[in-house]
Chain A
Amino acid sequence: MQLTRAGFLVLLWLFVLAALRVVRSDLYAASGLRASGLPGFRRSEKSARGSKAPRQLVVTHGALTGTRISLDGRPILIGRADDSTLVLDDDFASTRHARLSMRGTDWYVEDLGSTNGTYLDRAKVTAPLRVPLGTPIRIGKTVIELRS
């Protein structure tokens, strides 16, 4: 009787451990920020190593304040569309509002024909503009900037 009692408890704990194992191996499978720095996903290690190269995009104002997205060379689409990299929930943003893309070692912002425009440090973005580190980009009520 003692044996069955202990045996059941052991099995119960084995279930807990198995569930934790599932959880552990699942940690990296579904990351909310799809462009975040998963170890296996980082493509441009070289460019990221330069001291001045921007490594992440940070939201500094607006509803998403504090959100960070690691930059890995792929373009970043910003807007209200669900498939954007940064999905804005903002009445002043367009469905496809702006895009940040990398050319060489620099990042460029371009406006994708938004209704209310994209501003790079007060200047309205009409053609692709180079984004220096720490310069605010305003989209609707959201402000983002690149950081190293």
Chain B
Amino acid sequence: MGSPVPVGEGSPGASVATSTSPGLRAPTRRGTELVMLAFAAGLVTLALILVELNQERSLSLRILYLGLAYLGLFACAHLAVRRWAPYADPAILPCVALLNGLGLVVIHRIDLALEGTVFPDGSTWDPVAFKQVIWTAIGLLLFAATLKFLSDHRTLARFGYTFGLVGLVALMLPGVLPGFIAPEINGAKIWLRIGPLSIQPGEFAKILLMVFFAAFLVSKRDLFTTAGRRFLGMDLPRARDLGPLFAAWGVTVAVMVLQKDLGSSLLFFGIVLVLLYVATERAAWVVLGLGLFTGGAIIAWKLFTHVQQRVANWQDPISRYDLIGGGYQISQSLFGLATGGIGGAGLGAGRPEMIPEANTDFITAVIGEELGFVGFAALLLIYMIFALRGLRSAIAVRDSFGKLLGGGLAFAVCFQVFIVVGGVTKLIPMTGITAPFLSYGGSSLLANYILVALLLRISAAARAPQRAPKPKPQQPAIADQHTVMVERPK
């Protein structure tokens, strides 16, 4: 057998992706991204023109400027990606740009519909589209800042426990604080009011807790794969390893009870379960978790009237149409979807003002009414492509933490869409949660832009060609070392 091959030679990591043939080097595909962004901005502008036309308002060049400004905003984001994450996935940002833009158009459209409405308490409708534009700009700033200051997603893992603690506090804060700082709005106690701003800390807590869980599961993975008893073809975990699952369950139930926020608790618990499942590949965790959640939900249903209301509204919204806290909202959403039919009423030609909360929780119902099934399906497909690219990046990235975090982030967006669209279409009880990027709401938008930046960071790590390892100082094996005579100093 020959002499051992020196370590530095060959650099097996780098050779595979790059050196075989230069033509196969992973392209950055930033150009594709820019073209897609322009396409998205064009579509958004067209949507705005259609709304103005259908509302019989005068068209002016101003709309084109708005469209160009929107493109400019995302071009800045594109430049940030080009600068700080050149290998990021090209499909994610355009999807986000289109969703956010359609959201803006629909929010503006609802503003138009509600213009001049006087509410029972004497207040008039306050247009919110412009605020949402500001939030979008701030969101993109945060997006660029995240990309700039987080050059490697693995640094997040180091702050896992800190993030977990901060996230937990942020999640629980509105529930335990007194009413003047954490008011109950529409039955949910999830806002913090600081001066003129009200923020929803739960949106940010979602990301922080995901970072924590990913870091925690990577470092303690062995704990969760230790098999206990076998039952029905599944390896059940040992009873004492169930602690973290019970903790997550407890937090979920606390959120449900203290904040009356069913959507967030469902989202949070779903994320924990999926991260556990991805980390351990054990179906037992999912089965156990779903069992726990079902148990918790049934107990909550027995004890709390607001849960009973939601379930009753879900079972039969029409018969509870006139009750207070009844099925009016869901019925209107279903009427809207039915009016839309296959092809939709046309942008700006529907009656979105009939649905309460049309620009937040029920924004997908408005889109379903005005774009119809065809447009709604396209919208869901855009979400799907977004999640698909996120999961793909998670598969391709090479460190376990990145895999878990990427998978969790992509799943969170997907699951949130499922919860809100499921609620709007009466597939599951309505739980009141924002549609990512579409709904009006600063906290949700900012948090989701941070989420996108993290996903792009992970996808950049996954797609970047591997750098050649640093040449290490070569030391011959100890057996090959020369024997040297050393004289003892006298």
Binding site for B on A (CB under 8 A): 1, 4-6, 8-9, 11-13, 15-16, 18-20, 22-23, 26, 29-32, 34-35, 40-41, 43, 63, 66, 74-77, 81-85, 87, 89, 96, 99, 101, 103, 108, 110, 112-113, 127-128
Q: Write 10 A-B pairs (CB below 8 A) sorted by A numbering.
A: A6-B343, A8-B50, A15-B94, A15-B378, A19-B382, A22-B91, A23-B91, A29-B29, A32-B462, A75-B5
Q: Which of chain A's residues have a CB closer than 8 A to the CB of B469?
A: 81, 83
Closest beta carbon of chain B to A34's beta carbon, Å: 4
Closest CB in chain A relative to B92 CB, distance in Å: 10
A63 touching B388, Cβ below 8 Å: no
Residues of B near any A CB (own CB < 8 A): 1-2, 4-5, 7, 10-17, 20-21, 24, 26-27, 29, 32, 36, 39-40, 43, 46-47, 50, 53-54, 89-91, 94-95, 98, 218, 221-222, 225, 281, 343-344, 346-347, 349, 371-372, 374-375, 378-379, 381-382, 385, 388-389, 392-393, 395-400, 459, 462-463, 466-469, 477
Choose among A11, A20, A40, A81 the residue that contacts B43 (Cβ–Cβ < 8 A): A11
Chain B residue numbers with a CB within 8 Å of A13 are 374, 378
- Contact B400 A89, beta carbon cutoff 8 Å: yes
Known: A4-B53, A41-B16. 12 other contacts (CB 8 A): A1-B54, A4-B346, A8-B347, A9-B343, A19-B385, A40-B21, A63-B225, A85-B12, A85-B13, A87-B399, A89-B399, A99-B7
Q: Are A34 and B466 in contact (CB under 8 A)?
A: yes
- Nearest A residue to B384 by beta-carbon distance? A16
Tell me the minimal C-beta distance from B15 to chain A in angstroms: 6
Contacts of A11 in B (CB 8 A): 43, 46
Q: Point out the residues of chain A lying under 8 angstroms from B395, CB to CB.
A: 32
Q: Answer whether A32 and B374 are a contact pair too, CB < 8 Å, given A83-B466, A110-B5.
A: no
A127 touches B381 (CB 8 A): no
Residue of A nearest to B464 (CB): A30
The answer to whether B346 and A19 touch across the interface, beta carbons within 8 angstroms, is no
**In the bound complex, do residue B13 and residue A34 qualify as a contact, i.e. CB atoms below 8 Å apart?**
yes
Residues of A within 8 A of B39 (CB): 15, 18
The distance from the CB of A8 to the nearest CB of chain B, in whole angstroms, is 6
Q: How far is the CA of A97 from the CA of B272 in the complex (A)?
A: 33
A-B contact count (CB 8 A): 152
* Complex interface: chain B residues within 8 A of A12 (CB): 43, 371, 375, 378-379
Minimum C-beta distance from B321 to chain A (A): 30
Selected contact of B32 from candidates A16, A22, A30, A63, CB within 8 Å:
A22
The residues of A that contact B225 with a CB separation of less than 8 Å are 63
Of all A-B residue pairs in the complex, the 9 with the closest CB atoms, nearest first, are A83-B13, A30-B463, A32-B396, A5-B346, A34-B16, A83-B469, A12-B378, A75-B12, A77-B12
Do B95 and A9 touch across chains, with their CB atoms under 8 A apart?
Answer: no
Is the CB–CB distance between A8 and B29 below 8 Å?
A: no
* Alpha-carbon distance A112/B221, docked complex (angstroms): 27
Cα(A90)–Cα(B224), bound, Å: 15
Kindly provide the distance from the CB of A144 to the nearest chain B CB, expressed in whole angstroms.
15
B400 to chain A, nearest CB (A): 5
Expressed in whole angstroms, the minimum distance between the Cβ of A2 and any Cβ of chain B is 8
Q: Decide yes or no: A112 and B24 within 8 Å by CB, A18-B39, A83-B466, A89-B218 being known contacts.
A: no
Task: Report A28 CB to chain B, min CB distance, Å.
Answer: 9
A10 to B333, CA, bound (A): 25
- Chain B residues whose CB sits within 8 angstroms of the CB of A15 once the complex forms: 36, 39-40, 43, 94, 98, 378, 382
Contact A19 B221, CB 8 Å, known A30-B26, A75-B12, A127-B1? no
Q: A26 to B462, alpha carbons, bound, how many Å?
A: 12
Contacts of A4 in B (CB 8 A): 50, 53, 346
A35-B378 in contact (CB<8A): no
Q: A12-B375, A22-B90 are in contact. Are A5 and B7 (CB under 8 A)?
A: no
| Contact A82/B398 with A15-B43, A19-B382, A32-B462 known, Cβ cut-off 8 Å | yes
Instruction: Collect the chain A residues with CB atoms within 8 Å of residue B382's CB.
Output: 15-16, 19
A106 to B: closest C-beta gap in Å? 11
Task: Give the distance in Å from the alpha carbon of A41 to the alpha carbon of B18 in the complex.
Answer: 10
Partner of A35, one of B16, B46, B47, B90: B16
Complex alpha-carbon distance, A32 and B392, angstroms: 9
**Chain A residue, CB-CB nearest to B35:** A18
Which residues of chain B are near A31, meaning CB under 8 Å? 396
- Contact A1 B346, beta carbon cutoff 8 Å: yes
Closest to B466 in A: A83
| Alpha-carbon distance A12/B20, docked complex (angstroms) | 39
Known: A20-B385, A23-B388, A110-B5. A82 touches B375 (CB 8 A): no
Chain A residues in 8 Å Cβ range of B466:
34, 83
